[in-house]
């Protein structure tokens, strides 16, 4: 079961890194990349399918958040007037 | 009479009609490549690196994400009892209250939302002192507290209270025996901040709480710099009142909270009266989006505390090791062990603090707290820990936080080393000290 989900986990990981790299702000971008990498690394040995399910769900929600925030940062007016 | 009802006088009252106005309506989202603009802006005039996390912190994107719906769609007043707009706002506010309470180990009913830690400090100190003023006329605090605490105590003095400002040791820590000896039978409140915003020193709050509880005195702590960064338990530490600030923990500016113990009950005279919101202690509509932001910031801080603490400690060590190994005569102000690692205050001998700050213009730093940096006086906190006058003028505060990167720390360290060397080359005092002259023995004369 875990082996079958591995490709999904890797796909989520790659997508999250791709979306994190889109933050225009240097600090947010680096934080998102680092935090995603460290979170996946910390949970790499989780076996229990329920826990994996829950973590994946958190991952999808965080991905949505990253996409929303990346978008909203891009659409802000940045000139100070 | 001109057309469309406009009179001559109204034309004259619109002086801006002839100014070149910004025609922002011409630009649509499609014709304004924002991301490219931000990147270009950063290349042309790169903004300084942010290393001043004690002054304020950028909002965490997760906090902003939680707040936006309440700024845009769910805009009801949480105190409206009669319709869904009110109910949904109230529910969000109560969730936020629980998140704040969970971070410090309190009950949600003990959390009062305020406009920030300054308001919370004012409420706690003036409120408690005034409520118990019939029998208790004495308040104790320390000399290294934040200006709002010291100023509130000054106001109490003008109202006839006795205030003792306890000195601190050279490490910045309070002497517990001195505290115990200073408590009188008519002391109502002791106020000691958990983590100092200028030197990062962490006071022995658990022991202070124990002393205050045993003597029957209320204990207030300004935990603005500590909440969400170090584990806090109001029950273990026997804290009766605690101030929390939103914008120090990656939350929004303009919101904070005050923890007020219910068992045993702490009574306060409110300073803001009105409709009786927040248990009557702080009337006024609770700003739902800000409260939601504070709650989200607290809940994120609770999850990320260990990760952040490890990372901040690592980066702080990196910075201090690098700087201190390359430059002689650098002193770290405050106790080396009892501290929060993310706040580092260094004094560079024979270098003037303001000139070093200006030399490091592409790093955002501060010398002393934001509230006092406008004046030319050296910081009162450094004076209280017994720093020499000239060293107090040469101090810089480095702040490291959740979003700081290794590259930023390395750049700051290198720039700092380079500029200190350069400024020392120009300093006659440095020359003299290199020749072995003891500067303290010099008799400076007037010309």
Beta bridge partners of B313: none
Please determine, for residue B259, whether its predicted confidence score (pLDDT) is greater than 70: yes
pLDDT in tens, A47-57: 888 999 999 99
> Does residue B358 share a domain with residue B248?
no
Distances (CA, A) of A44 to A9, A57, B79: 10, 15, 46
Tell me if residue B371 is catalytic: yes
Strands (E), B207-360: 218-222, 241-245, 256-260, 330-332, 343-348
Angle ∠(B271,B277,B283) on CA atoms, nearest 5: 30
Averaged pLDDT, B342-346? 96
Check B58 against A27: CB less than 8 A apart.
yes
Per-residue pLDDT reduced to its tens digit, B379-414? 899 999 998 888 888 899 999 999 999 999 999 999
Q: Among B51, B310, B403, pick the best mutation site for testing chain A contact (most A Cβ within 10 A).
A: B403
Identify whether B33 is part of a domain.
Answer: no
Angle between helices B117-131 and B147-158 (to 10 degrees): 30
> Last residue of a domain, which of B282, B300, B318?
B300
On whether both B385 and B339 belong to a single domain, the answer is yes
B282 and B388 within one domain: no
Question: Picking from B38-42, B75-79, B282-286, B293-297, which range would have the lowest pLDDT averaged per residue?
Answer: B38-42
User: B429 and B411, same structural domain?
Assistant: yes
Q: Is the pLDDT of residue B290 over 90?
A: yes
Residue of B nearest to A64 (CA): B65
List the catalytic residue out of B148, B153, B212, B371: B371
Task: Give the CA count within 13 Å in the CB-facing half-sphere of B365.
Answer: 26
**Residue range(s) defining the domain that contains residue B422:** 305-433
Half-sphere exposure (CA, 13 Å, Cβ side) for B349? 16
A interface with B, Cβ–Cβ below 8 Å: 24-28, 30-32, 38, 65-66, 68-69, 72, 74-76, 78, 81
| B369 and B293 in a common domain | no
Whether residue B202 is predicted with pLDDT greater than 90 in this model: the reply is yes
B315 and B290 in a common domain: no
Q: Are residues B228 and B250 in the same domain?
A: yes
Q: What is the DSSP letter of B43?
A: H
Q: Which of B246, B274, B300 is the last residue of a domain?
A: B300
Cβ atoms of residues B197 and B146 within 8 Å: yes
Q: Which helix (H) or strand (E) holds B117?
A: helix B117-131
Residue that has been written with the tokens 């004012």 in this structure: B122
Confidence of residue A46 (pLDDT cuts 50, 70, 90): confident
Neighbours of B314 (CB within 10 A): 14
**CA of A68 to nearest chain B CA: how many angstroms apart?**
8
Please tell me whether the peptide bond between B108 and the residue prior to it is cis, using omega within 30 degrees of 0.
Answer: no
Check whether residue B150 and residue B65 sit in a common domain.
yes
pLDDT tens digits, residue range B92-147? 999 999 999 999 999 999 999 999 999 999 999 999 999 999 999 999 999 999 99
Q: Which of A24, A30, A66 sits opposite B405 (nearest CB)?
A: A30
Q: Give the span between the Cα atoms of B131 and B137, in whole angstroms.
A: 10
DSSP run (H or E) holding B228: none
Using the predicted structure, report yes or no on whether residue B268 has a pLDDT greater than 50: yes
- Asked if the structure places residue B170 within a domain, the reply is yes
> Could you write out the DSSP letters of every residue in B252-287?
-TT-EEEEE-TTTTPP---SB-SS-TGGGTB-S---
| The two three-digit tokens of residue B69, written as one number | 């719906």
Q: Average pLDDT, stretch B364-387?
A: 78
Average model confidence (pLDDT) for chain B?
A: 89
In a shared domain, residues B92 and B212? yes
Rg over CA atoms, chain A? 15
Q: Does the pLDDT value for residue B288 go beyond 50?
A: yes
E strands along B231-351, which residues? Answer: 241-245, 256-260, 330-332, 343-348
Q: Is the pLDDT of residue B33 over 70?
A: no
Dihedral of CA A8/A12/A13/A14: which sign? positive
Beta bridge partners of B396: B346
C-alpha B296 chain-centroid distance: 18
Domains of chain A by residue range: 1-79
Q: Do B61 and A65 touch (CB under 8 A)?
A: yes
Pair B245, B170 in one domain: yes
CATH number at residue B184: 3.40.640.10
Span A3-13, mean pLDDT? 82
Same domain membership, residue B234 and residue B361 = no
B271 plus B352 within the same structural domain: no
CA B319 to mean position of chain CA atoms: 22
What distance lies between CA A69 and its chain's CA centroid? 12
pTM of the complete model = 0.88
Answer yes or no: is pLDDT of B349 > 60: yes
Name the pLDDT band for B19 (thresholds 50, 70, 90).
very low
Nearest to B131 by CA among B8, B244, B265, B330: B265
Pick from B182, B181, B188: which is nearest to B153 by CA?
Answer: B188
B229 pLDDT more than 90: yes
For residues B365-378, give the mean pLDDT: 68
Instruction: Please report which confidence band the pLDDT of residue B175 belongs to, taking 50, 70 and 90 as the band edges.
Output: very high
Residue B53 belongs to some domain of the structure: no
| Mean pLDDT for the stretch of residues B171-198 | 96
| Set of chain A residues whose Cβ sits within 8 Å of the Cβ of B403 | 27-28, 30-31
Distance (Å, whole) CA B363 – CA B374: 18
Q: Is the pLDDT of residue B21 over 50?
A: no
- What percent of chain B clears pLDDT 90, i.e. is strictly above it? 78
B115 near B272, Cβ under 8 Å?
Answer: no
* Cα dihedral B138/B142/B146/B148 (nearest 10): 10
Q: Of B254, B270, B300, which marks where a domain is finished?
A: B300
**Tens digit of pLDDT for each residue in B51-101?**
999 999 999 999 999 999 999 999 999 999 999 999 999 999 999 999 999
| Domains identified in chain B, total number | 2
Whether the predicted pLDDT of B5 surpasses 70: no
| Residue A58 to residue A70: CA distance in whole angstroms | 18
For the ranges A10-14, A44-48, A53-57, the lowest mean pLDDT is seen at A44-48
| Residue B340 CA, distance from chain mean position | 13
The ipTM assigned to this model is 0.90
* B324 within some domain: yes
Predicted local confidence at residue A22, as pLDDT: 92
The pLDDT, as a whole number, for residue B378 is: 77
| Window from A69-73, B128-132, B278-282, B286-290 with minimum mean pLDDT | A69-73
Whether residue A4 is predicted with pLDDT greater than 60 in this model: the reply is no
Of A24, A32, A69, the CB nearest to B39: A24
Reported confidence tier of residue B24, pLDDT bands at 50, 70, 90: very low
Any idea what DSSP says for residue B50?
E
The Cα-based distances of B56 to A28, B104, B425 in angstroms read: 16, 21, 34
């Amino acid at each position: 079961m875990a082996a079958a989900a591995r490709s999904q986990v890797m796909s989520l990981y790659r997508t999250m890194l791709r979306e994190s790299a889109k933050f225009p702000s240097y600090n947010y971008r680096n934080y998102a990349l680092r935090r995603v990498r460290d979170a996946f690394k910390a949970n790499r040995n989780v076996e229990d399918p329920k826990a994996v399910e829950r973590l994946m769900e958190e991952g999808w929600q965080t991905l949505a958040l990253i996409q929303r925030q990346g978008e909203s940062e891009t659409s802000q007016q940045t000139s100070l007037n | 009479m001109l057309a469309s009802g406009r009179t001559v006088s109204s034309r004259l009252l619109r002086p801006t009609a002839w100014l070149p106005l910004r025609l922002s309506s011409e630009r649509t989202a499609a014709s304004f490549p924002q991301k490219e603009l931000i990147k270009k802006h950063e290349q042309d005039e790169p903004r300084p690196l942010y290393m001043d996390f004690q002054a304020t912190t950028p909002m965490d994107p997760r906090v902003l994400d939680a707040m936006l719906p309440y700024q845009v769609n769910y805009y009801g007043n949480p105190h409206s009892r009669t319709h869904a707009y009110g109910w949904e706002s109230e529910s969000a506010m109560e969730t936020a209250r629980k998140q704040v309470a969970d971070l410090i180990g309190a009950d949600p009913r003990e959390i009062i939302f305020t406009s920030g830690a300054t308001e919370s400090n004012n409420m706690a100190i003036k409120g408690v002192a005034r409520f118990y003023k019939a029998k208790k006329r004495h308040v104790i605090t320390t000399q290294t507290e934040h200006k709002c605490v010291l100023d509130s105590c000054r106001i109490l003095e003008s109202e006839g209270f006795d205030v003792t400002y306890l000195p601190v040791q050279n490490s910045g820590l309070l002497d517990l025996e001195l505290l115990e000896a200073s408590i009188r039978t008519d002391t109502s409140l002791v106020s000691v901040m958990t983590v100092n915003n200028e030197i990062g020193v962490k006071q022995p709050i658990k022991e202070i709480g124990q002393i205050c509880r045993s003597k029957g005195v209320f204990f207030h702590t300004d935990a603005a710099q500590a909440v969400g960064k170090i584990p806090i338990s109001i029950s273990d530490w026997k804290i009766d009142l605690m101030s929390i600030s939103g914008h120090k923990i990656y939350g929004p500016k303009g919101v904070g909270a005050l923890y007020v113990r219910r068992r045993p009950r702490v009574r306060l005279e409110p300073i803001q009266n009105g409709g009786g919101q927040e248990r009557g202690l702080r009337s006024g509509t609770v700003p739902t989006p800000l409260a939601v932001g504070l709650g989200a910031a607290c809940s994120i801080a609770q999850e990320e505390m260990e990760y952040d603490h490890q990372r901040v400690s690592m980066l702080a060590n990196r910075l201090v090791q690098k700087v201190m190994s390359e430059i002689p005569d650098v002193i770290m102000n405050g106790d080396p062990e009892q501290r929060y690692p993310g706040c580092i205050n260094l004094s560079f001998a024979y270098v003037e603090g303001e000139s070093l700050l200006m030399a490091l213009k592409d790093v955002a730093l501060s010398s002393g707290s934001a509230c006092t940096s406008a004046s030319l006086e050296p910081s009162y906190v450094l004076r209280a820990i017994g720093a020499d006058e000239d060293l107090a003028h040469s101090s810089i505060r480095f702040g490291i936080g959740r979003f700081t990167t290794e590259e930023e720390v390395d750049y700051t360290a290198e720039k700092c080393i380079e500029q200190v060397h350069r400024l020392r080359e120009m300093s006659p005092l440095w020359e003299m000290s290199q020749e072995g002259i003891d500067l303290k023995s010099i008799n400076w004369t007037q010309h």
